[in-house]
Amino acid sequence: MSDFRRFRGTDTYLTSESLEAAVNCALVLERPLLVRGEPGTGKTLLAEAVSEALGRELIRWNVKSTTRAQDGLYVYDTVQRLYDSRFQDKDVSDIRHYIKLGPVGKAFAADERVVLLIDEIDKADVEFPNDLLNELDRMRFWIDELQEEVSAKHRPIVIITSNAEKELPDAFLRRCVFHFIDFPTPELMDRIVRVHHPDLEERLAEQAIQTFYELRSMKRLRKRPSTSELVDWIAVLQKAGVGDVRLDKNLPFLGALLKKEQDLVAFADQLAGGRRWRS
C-alpha cells in the first residue's frame, strides 16, 4: 500500500503541504477528493496538475445546471438508432453502437488508472451528488439496455470541485477527502506569479502584487479578484509595457481585475473618499 507515487505538485502548479496531504490521502484511500475554495484559486487546475504529475490521462466532466447523474454514466441514443433504421447502411440490430459512455463510464472502462475531474458539482440539481454516490463508491454501474455491468478495472482518481458552501449532502461529504484551497499568501502569490511570468521584472511584480492585495482588502467588493485575474492582469501590464502600478483611480487595465459594474463604482467611490480599507 505504501508503494504509490506521491503527489508533490508540478513545475507550474505550486501546492501547499496540506493540499499535498489531501491529494495523497485521496490516492491512498481511493476516495474522491473534494476541493473547494474561492473562484480562481486553481481548483480545476489541480486536476490537470495531478494528471500531469502522475502521468495519468485526465477525463473531464463539466457539470451544468441541466446535467443529470445518468449523463455521466451512459446515454442511449434512441433517436439516432431510429433514424439509422430507415436506411440500411448501418447495423441497427446491435444496440451497442448506440450506447455511449459518459465521462464516468469512460473512466471506469479505461484500461489504466485515470484522473476523473467532476467540475463544479454544485451547479447541478441538489440531488445530483446523491445520485452519483453509489456509483462512485462501488465504482461500477449497470447498463439496463445491455444487461451488463461496467465496473472499474482501476479505480480512477476522482477530483470534484465545488464553489458553493453547504450545498452537498452529508452522506456525500463523508465519503470524500476534503480540501479547502486557501487564498495564497503574498509570498506564495509571488512564486505563483513567477511561474506564469518567468521574465517578470522585480519591481513590477512587487508593485502589482501589493496593489492586488490592497484592492482585495477594499470593502464592498462583490467579487474580489483572485489568482487567475492577477495572472491575467500582469500579462496585460507586460504586453502594454506598463512599468509602474499603484492603487489610484487611474489604475491601468482595471477591467482585468474587477469584472462587475458595481465593483468599479465602489472602487471609484472609495478612492474618491480617501483610503478606507478593511481592517
- Interface residues toward another protein, by CB under 8 A: 1-2, 4, 17-18, 20-22, 24-26, 28-29, 31, 34, 36, 65, 78-79, 82-83, 85-86, 125-126, 164-170, 173-174, 176-180, 182
Closest contact distance (angstroms) between CB of 71 and another protein is 13
Judged by beta carbon, residue 177 or residue 230, the one nearer another protein is 177
Closest contact distance (angstroms) between CB of 19 and another protein is 9
Instruction: Give the span between the Cα atoms of 230 and 67, in whole angstroms.
Output: 31
Judged by beta carbon, residue 68 or residue 196, the one nearer another protein is 68
Asked whether 140 and 152 are in contact (CB, 8 A), the reply is: yes
Closest contact distance (angstroms) between CB of 118 and another protein is 17
14 is written with which cell numbers?
A: 505550486
Among residues 251, 235, 242, 243, which one has the least CA distance to residue 196? 235
Closest contact distance (angstroms) between CB of 198 and another protein is 23
H or E segment to which residue 107 belongs: helix 103-109
| 105: number of Cβ within 10 Å | 22
Q: How many CA within 13 A on the CB side of residue 217?
A: 13
Judged by beta carbon, residue 46 or residue 168, the one nearer another protein is 168
Judged by beta carbon, residue 182 or residue 244, the one nearer another protein is 182
Residues 229, 235, 237, 239: is their CA dihedral positive or negative? negative
Judged by beta carbon, residue 177 or residue 215, the one nearer another protein is 177
Closest contact distance (angstroms) between CB of 191 and another protein is 13
User: What is residue 162's DSSP assignment?
Assistant: E
